[in-house]
Amino acid sequence: MKALITGANGQVGRALIANAPPGWSVTAVGRDKLDLRDGAAIRALIQAKTPDWLLNAAAYTAVDKAESEEELATAINATAVAQMASALAETGGHLAQISTDFVFDGRSARAYRPGDARAPISAYGRSKAGGENAVGGGDLVLRTAWVYAAGGANFVRTMLRLMRERDEVRVVRDQIGAPTWATGLARTLWALVQAEASGTYHHSDAGVASWYDFAVAIQEEALAIGLLDRQVPVHPVGTSDFPTPAARPTFSLLDCSATRNLLGDEWTHWRTNLRLMLEEEKALG
């Protein structure tokens, strides 16, 4: 089987490459090799590689900047996905599209299920919902949230830097969801692909957290393994204390039961995966 991975240099793309199942021939391209604003280039690459599956880990992810660059965000997160799906329909391949909790408005009283109505409240969310709309009937959408990985640009590494540089940190307490280790996300996506799944699924790590809860755990776990050498106060604050151009869903917990039931695997708590990621981060030096 042949797979084409886009977004190869991002944290999810790297995790997909590292966790490719035995027997798969994998071609991975980053933005230096493929401009997602170039529909002809997308089509030419798919026609040349004829993948059985295209795993699209490429995305415009600058949530706040997207408020002033919605056209660009839409071009990368929606138009390019439509071009991928169209080209794959011609070559007989399938698309696995990674999406986000930002397609929801955060007003649910329970974890969001795959079939729940979407109502994005930001330009980024609208662009990702457009990408979901573009996939074909036999294709796969996997929504996720709060993704992090060793060596990547993410909340965990930002917190580690701030905890080294500052005497205290302030973190939002009233946005609720669940962190997601990129390695676990990659393994789930590969498992769904191997199961020839289609439709929409969810993946995040088990458990519930606020960004404040996550930050407290990051410091505790990092101190335990010597990745931090001092403890600083972590203060919980409200979203209103950190005004941003883009609105965030205040509740974006994803119901992943359909995914876990299909794959028949265990669901790992986010704190367990955080420990594994921090060990990897420590090994990177």
- Catalytically active residues are 124
Is the separation of the CB atoms in 53 and 46 below 8 Å?
no
Under DSSP, is residue 40 helix (H, G, I), strand (E, B) or coil?
helix
Burial tier of 40 (Cβ tally within 10 Å: 0-12, 13-18, 19+): exposed
Is the separation of the CB atoms in 163 and 281 below 8 Å?
no
- Which residues, in sequence order, are CB contacts of 161 under 8 Å at separation 6+? none
CA distance 51 to 93: 6
**DSSP line for 107-131:** --SSPBPTTSPP---SHHHHHHHHH
CA distance 48 to 43: 9
Distances (CA, A) of 100 to 41, 131, 186, 199: 25, 10, 14, 15
Question: Cα-flanking dihedrals φ and ψ of residue 251, to 5°?
Answer: -140, 115
Q: What's the angle, vertex CA 211, arms to CA 155 and CA 285, rounded to 5?
A: 30
The rounded radius of gyration (Å) of the Cα atoms in the chain is: 19
Under DSSP, is residue 220 helix (H, G, I), strand (E, B) or coil?
helix
Under DSSP, is residue 161 helix (H, G, I), strand (E, B) or coil?
helix
Is the separation of the CB atoms in 229 and 220 below 8 Å?
no
